[in-house]
Amino acid sequence: MEFTHFNEQKRAKMVDVSHKDVSVRIARAYGEVKLSKDAYEAVKEGRVKKGDVLAVAQVGGIMGAKKTPYLIPMCHPLPVEGIDINFEMDDDRNVIKIFSETKVSSKTGIEMEAITAVSIAALTIYDMCKAIDRSIEINNIYLLHKEGGKSGTFDR
């Protein structure tokens, strides 16, 4: 496999996608935030002093996805057409599961936006809960699914 992010001088470049066809591209990502029992219960019961943790994390994740090309140097700016973030509470493990889905009609994929959405949502949860729990862990951030484009569908 040949890497396409280097020029003839072996220096980084943004990949030229001008020859590619526009197609609908969808990506889904996942991540987890593990909290102490006290912090987890505070989030679940709406007792965090900074406000509704999941509502703020959802907005933060959406904003993060839209800013991906400013955070990841070689990402193309994309006309993102849809971003959704959902949370599941895992009471047995004191874990908040984060799921994102991003959509675009473009010449290049939107995986990085999906992963960034999960990452920023997780960091937002950390920021809002750190006064209760400094031992918060952010774990298992990865791509679940991608479709569209020349390389086809990927499912973890």
Strand order in the sheet with 154-155: 82-90, 95-106, 23-34, 137-147, 154-155
- Residue 127 annotated as catalytic: yes
Q: Which tokens hold the place of 99?
A: 């799921």
Contact 61, 117 (CB under 8 A): yes
Q: Which candidate in 21, 52, 127, 155 is catalytic?
A: 127
Sign of the alpha-carbon torsion through 42, 62, 136, 27: positive
Give the separation between CA 66 and CA 75, rounded to whole angstroms.
11
Q: Which tokens hold the place of 135?
A: 């031992």
Residues with a known catalytic role: 127
